[in-house]
Amino acid sequence: MPRFTLRYHQTALRLPESGALVLGREPGCDVCIDDPVASRRHARLLVKDGSVWIEDLGSRNGVAVNGVRLKAEPRQLQPWDWFQIGENEFCLRVEGVPAKGPRPDFKTMVSDEKTRCGSEATDFDCAPATRTHTSPLGPVELLRESGRRSLAEPTRPPAQRFQNALNLVQLLCEAEAPTEAQQLLGEAIEQLQHPSVAGTLQPSLASRARIYIARWFPESVRPAAWKARLEILRQAVRAPFPTAP
């Protein structure tokens, strides 16, 4: 019988061989999530017959599995799958099963990101990154330079520049360059301080930024500068961050 472990922040929770665990904001849940975006009873993990399934319990803000929102029916989790509730990311590990295959190369990451952006792909400006064979810069430097140029583009509205920067932040994280990702996100957020931006930023973009900040800087050790940037995000969104029932 496989032995499952759920990784959550810096915690490793050994799952039972069979049974169900409820995740949510309610104190009585098996896994209590301190996040206003989480519903009181948000999701359920079911362990049975050597497999783990996840089910959304009708939450307001949903569950994302490997970046894709979970539908109404339960879904079986595979080793090293991850799922997200609000700012909180969970990873299912199985004893004796190694991590999934190697990361894709840089060009594949750019292509995948453009595909993920769909109709917004034309706004994702990283063309220089696809010309690595003619540039003395490496992939990380090219991404960072693309971010600087995107933030400096005067013809695009601030919210659109912010969205482009978030796409590049994701690629920097995939390229294992957290310092560069943090610098770019910090600069992008600080551009939102202009009075003309107040109330114009889509909440979904602000939530993406909040997830990165929570991942890098847990609240108990969050630097003052990043606390201030969270406040900038709050001022920039069109509506308050949703609090689940």
pLDDT per position as a tens digit, 7-59: 887 678 899 999 999 999 998 899 988 888 889 999 999 999 999 999 999 99
Per-residue pLDDT reduced to its tens digit, 139-154:
677 777 788 887 887 7
The chain-wide mean pLDDT, for the chain, equals 78
Q: Which residues, at least 6 apart from 153, have a Cβ–Cβ distance to it below 8 Å?
A: 125, 161
Q: In this predicted structure, what is the pLDDT of residue 26?
A: 92
Cα(202)–Cα(185) distance, integer angstroms: 16
Please tell me whether the overall predicted TM-score, pTM, comes out greater than 0.85 for this model.
Answer: no
Q: In this predicted structure, what is the pLDDT of residue 118?
A: 45
Q: Considering only 113-117, 187-191, 197-201, 231-235, which range has the smallest mean pLDDT? A: 113-117
Beta strands 64-65 and 82-85: pairing type?
antiparallel
Q: In this predicted structure, what is the pLDDT of residue 101?
A: 52
